[in-house]
Amino acid sequence: MDQRITKTEDEWRRELTPAQYRVLRQAGTEPPFAGEYFDCHDDGMYRCAACGAELFRSDTKFDSGTGWPSFTEAAGSAVELHKDLSHGMLRTEVRCRACGSHLGHVFNDGPRPTGKRFCINSCALDLDRTPAAAPAPTGAEGGAA
């Protein structure tokens, strides 16, 4: 899973939409409250829109009020973190470990249990709603979460 996917920028440009290319490959940020997933509560696995790697489980998603999909943790070791000094800020950039694409940033003001807020662009994600991709069911009567 740690195998790095390498493609030329021309290949990425052909495979991604212009909006996805700007975010994933040029570290852009989509406008808040405009993406597909910020208000999505469906079950499933959020995959990398560039390479399909499993990135975030829907049961770690929370409503941050920021207008971007927000998660308390990444799935396994799916992402890697990089110091980002752009725009006069010190932030921590989140990239897909498998393909190196930019996903968003992570902040330390998230809810328990992790205290993390992974602030991710909708267009960098592709929600896989197939039952096999969904997190283990917690049970209709409120099983262990």
Question: What is the dihedral sign for C-alpha 25, 122, 64, 135?
Answer: negative
User: 118: left (phi > 0), else alpha (psi -120 to 50), else beta?
Assistant: beta
Q: If binding is defined by CB under 5 A, does position 96 make contact with Fe ion?
A: yes
Which residues share a beta bridge with 98? none
User: Of the listed pieces 31-39, 51-59, 60-68, 70-78, which binds Fe ion according to CB under 5 A?
Assistant: 51-59
How far is CA 70 from each of CA 42, 120, 139, rounded to the nearest angstrom? 14, 6, 23
Q: Are 117 and 70 in contact (CB under 8 A)?
A: yes
CB of 99 to Fe ion, least distance (A): 3
Q: Which of 23, 27, 50, 119 contacts Fe ion by CB under 5 A?
A: 50
What b/e sequence results for 89-120 when a residue is b if at least 16 CB atoms lie within 10 Å of its CB, and e otherwise? eebebbbbbbbbbbbbbbbeebeeeeebbbbb
Residue 49, interface with Fe ion (CB under 5 A)? Answer: no
48 in contact with Fe ion (CB under 5 A)? yes
Annotated catalytic residues are 119
Cα 30 to Cα 125: distance, rounded to the nearest angstrom: 12
Contact map string, positions 120 to 139, toward Fe ion, x by CB under 5 A: --------------------
94 contacts Fe ion (rule: CB under 5 A): no
Q: State the nearest-atom distance from the C-beta of 89 to Fe ion, in Å.
A: 24
If one asks whether residue 16 binds Fe ion (CB under 5 A), the answer comes out as no
Minimum CB distance to Fe ion smaller for 94 or for 119: 94
Residues of the shown chain interacting with Fe ion in the complex, contacts defined by CB under 5 A:
48, 50-51, 53, 96, 98-99, 101
